[in-house]
């Protein structure tokens, strides 16, 4: 939740100056959750369930990512000048196959590039790295499991072996990121292996959940709040012009995220009301959809409106409205697709808007949409297709 809000705030206002490190926090969380799931399932079943793992990732990510990608390309045809629409189509093709990060790295489309090079689907580079990681990571866990089975090792030794292997991979990745940061900043930022160390640190935490579960209760709140403080500090200490990103500067938010995760393992984190209240939990639920939709909304509205209070309200209303719609009407149905989900969907359609749950969702999306449309209509510039760099929000110019 904190990670995606930091990214959205940075993209929209250019503040906090290091808001883009929310992506690094997201990588750590993702590495932990995926590896923890793989290790638990492997321990219970004695083997890595490749089919289930990949199918779950597809259901979780591909439907909403594809819908947003197609909608973004279609919108670009109507909103952007023809050259921009063509470029968006090419970028979208790479994003569809989850190689957008390589495309932008080869193109030199760094986040410090000029505004003219900003793509409405440039943020899909994060999704590309995630999917590439998901493709390879189960194989690594499988190899570690084979060694353990052959040697008949205990669970403790298995976790130690997995942690050692992951640690070596993460160390090699960090070294590579440090090298690229000095020689090829674009590949350092977008390159897959240059980012694996961030996911790897989260994965290493997953191999040590047994240790963290025994952490004294008095230490947990201290570690958690210290981690949050480190992440918060990184939002303001790391700026757009930071030399050496993601390595070594990303070590700051990555370390903070790791501390928070470690503090929450094995117990209910009652000492984190900021992260565990109902509003924060719901924002966390829609965070994936919010990340996908907010960037094209910013880019497209920046071509249609002057930067004013109306612009910011419209971006927020449309972004959250679309995120809520994507989460409830695409992400959730596809994630839990099955006979029961189909029956529930059919039942919802039969009862229509008279079903309280559905009517609430539709009303929320409709209200946010109406607010955005009304404000856009009021504030739209007549020369909306001629957008100068100085009219764009600061974060769009930075393109971080």
Model confidence pLDDT, tens digit, residues 111-132: 544 444 689 999 999 999 999 9
Dihedral sign, CA of 69, 71, 77, 78?
Answer: negative
The set of long-range contacts for 238-241, using a CB threshold of 8 Å and a minimum separation of 24, is 238/17, 238/18, 238/21, 239/17, 239/18, 240/17, 240/111, 240/112, 240/398, 240/400, 241/112
Can you tell me the mean pLDDT for 62-66?
96
> What digits encode the pLDDT tens for the residues 247-281?
999 999 999 999 999 998 876 555 566 666 788 88
- Ranges of each domain in the chain: 1-380
CB 118 within 8 A of CB 396: yes
Band (46; pLDDT cuts 50, 70, 90): confident
Q: Residue 18: CA atoms inside 13 Å, Cβ hemisphere, count? A: 21
Predicted confidence (pLDDT) at residue 169 exceeds the cutoff of 80: yes
Question: For the chain, what is the mean pLDDT?
Answer: 83
Q: What would you report as the CA-atom Rg of the chain, rounded to the nearest whole angstrom?
A: 22
> Cα–chain-centroid distance for residue 39?
22
Burial of 136 (0-12, 13-18, 19+ CB in 10 A): exposed
> What digits encode the pLDDT tens for the residues 2-31?
889 999 999 999 989 999 999 999 999 999
Whole-model pTM: value is 0.86
């Amino acid at each position: 939740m904190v990670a995606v809000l930091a990214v959205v705030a940075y993209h929209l206002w250019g503040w906090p100056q290091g808001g883009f490190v929310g992506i690094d926090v997201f990588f750590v969380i993702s590495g932990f959750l995926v590896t923890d799931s793989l290790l638990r399932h492997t321990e219970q079943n004695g083997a890595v369930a490749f089919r289930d793992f990949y199918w779950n990732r597809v259901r979780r990510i591909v439907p909403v990512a594809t819908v947003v990608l197609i909608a973004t390309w279609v919108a670009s045809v109507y909103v952007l000048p023809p050259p921009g629409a063509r470029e968006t189509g090419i970028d979208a093709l790479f994003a569809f196959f989850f190689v957008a990060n390589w495309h932008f790295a080869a193109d030199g489309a760094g986040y410090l590039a000029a505004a003219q090079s900003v793509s409405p689907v440039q943020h899909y580079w994060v999704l590309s790295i995630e999917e590439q990681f998901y493709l390879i990571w189960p194989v690594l866990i499988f190899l570690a499991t084979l060694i353990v089975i052959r040697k008949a090792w205990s669970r403790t030794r298995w976790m130690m072996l997995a942690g050692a292997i992951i640690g070596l991979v993460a160390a090699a990745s960090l070294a590579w990121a440090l090298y690229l940061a000095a020689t090829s900043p674009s590949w350092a930022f977008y390159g897959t292996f240059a980012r694996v160390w961030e996911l790897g640190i989260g994965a290493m935490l997953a191999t040590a959940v047994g240790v963290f579960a025994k952490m004294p209760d008095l230490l947990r709140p201290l570690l958690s709040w210290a981690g949050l403080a480190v992440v918060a500090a990184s939002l303001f200490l790391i700026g757009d012009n930071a030399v050496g990103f993601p390595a070594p500067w990303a070590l700051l938010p990555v370390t903070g995220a790791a501390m928070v995760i470690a503090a929450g393992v094995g117990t209910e984190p009652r000492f984190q009301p900021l992260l565990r209240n109902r509003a924060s939990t719901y924002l966390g639920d829609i965070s994936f959809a919010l990340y996908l939709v907010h960037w094209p909304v910013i880019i497209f509205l920046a071509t249609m409106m002057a930067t004013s209070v109306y612009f910011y309200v419209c971006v927020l209303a449309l972004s959250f409205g679309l995120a809520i719609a994507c989460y409830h009407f695409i992400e959730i149905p596809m994630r839990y697709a099955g006979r029961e989900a189909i029956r529930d969907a059919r039942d919802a359609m039969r009862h229509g808007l008279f079903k309280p749950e559905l009517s609430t969702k539709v009303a929320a999306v409709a209200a946010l949409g109406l607010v955005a449309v009304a404000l856009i209509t009021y504030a739209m510039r007549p020369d909306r297709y001629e957008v100068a760099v100085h009219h764009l929000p600061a974060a769009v110019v930075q393109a971080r």
